[in-house]
Amino acid sequence: MAIRVYKPTTPGRRNASVNLYSEVTKKTPEKSLLKPLSKTGGRNNKGVITCRHRGGGHKRRYRVIDFKRNRRLDQTATVIGIEYDPNRSCNIALIEYEDGERNYIIAPVGLKDGMQVVAASEQAEPQVGNNMQLKHIPAGLTVHNVELQPGRGGQMGRSAGSAIRLTNKEGKWATLVLPSGEIRQVHLQCRATIGQVGNTDHGLVKLGKAGRKRWLGVRPTVRGMAMSHHAHPLGGGEGRSKGGRAPVSPTGVPAKGGGTRDRKKSSTKRIIRRRKTVRYGFAPK
């Protein structure tokens, strides 16, 4: 990948950089794999804003991605091209099976046009783009698009540059080291794809101006202390005053370090080492 920095002809251009998308080889998307994508503006079915700072942005169409890779087992597919996807940070690869069916998959580093990929039911060649169960993947390899539950589809390691390391296999569990530093166990029947997710320079891009953020559908943020007392828990008062309260959202939800996981649905039982310290304490080793 490559990042281009232009001459500072304007204040916005001075601090901006552009991703050249050197991995992309196909410019137009596959029409049969496109779906309409409506915008919510961060509002629920009652019109109440449940996710702030969303709205506007360029019109998009959703690309249907095959995260499961379990429908065409042991069937070889050829990479047609690497495409840009406006709905995610990584690029996607268009693959075609021998019968003509086409699918999108996440494009890993090193995947080129004309290469062969396969989703195997048993042991297969551990090359970039191949998908198989963790029990068939040699320990020490880098994987992505990893399932949390067998058959559910890849949920971990899907963003640009993500790389999950398979360190150990013991009993019916595989030990993974995630990009965040978290170490967790996943069932050996879960599927994963070999390689690191491409577009590794995505995080190095500097937008440079507020307008580029608006193109992405992100609206401005206002500090809570700058609001009125009836609009935010930290607002109001003579001068700046937090009132001795921890940072929260307008609805009172902790904004920095607060717990947001549903205990009934959480998957924390198999976490060996957490990705960060726990609020008001330290994470268990």
All structural domains of the chain: 3-202 (2.40.50.140)
Integer Cα distance of 193 and 172 in angstroms: 19
Spell out a b/e string for 219-247, using b for 16 or more CB atoms within 10 Å of the CB, else e: eeeeebbeeeeeebbbbeeeeeeeeeeee
Band the pLDDT of 281: cuts 50, 70, 90. Answer: very low
Task: Give residue-wise pLDDT tens across range 95-148.
Answer: 999 999 999 999 999 999 999 999 999 988 999 999 999 999 999 999 999 999
Q: Is 269 helix (H, G, I), strand (E, B) or coil?
A: coil
Whether pLDDT at 279 is above 70: no
Tell me, letter by letter, the H, E, C secondary structure of 198-224.
Answer: CCCCHHHCCCCCHHHHHHCCECCCCCH
**Distance of alpha carbon 63 from alpha carbon 85, whole angstroms:** 7
pLDDT digits (tens, 9 = 90+) for 32-73: 999 999 999 999 999 999 999 999 999 999 999 999 999 999
Digit-coded pLDDT (tens) for 68-104: 999 999 999 999 999 999 999 999 999 999 999 999 9
Is the Cα torsion angle 58, 64, 68, 73 positive or negative in sign? negative
Q: Give 196 or 254, the one with higher predicted confidence.
A: 196
> What pTM value is reported for the model?
0.89
Statement: residue 9 has pLDDT above 60:
yes
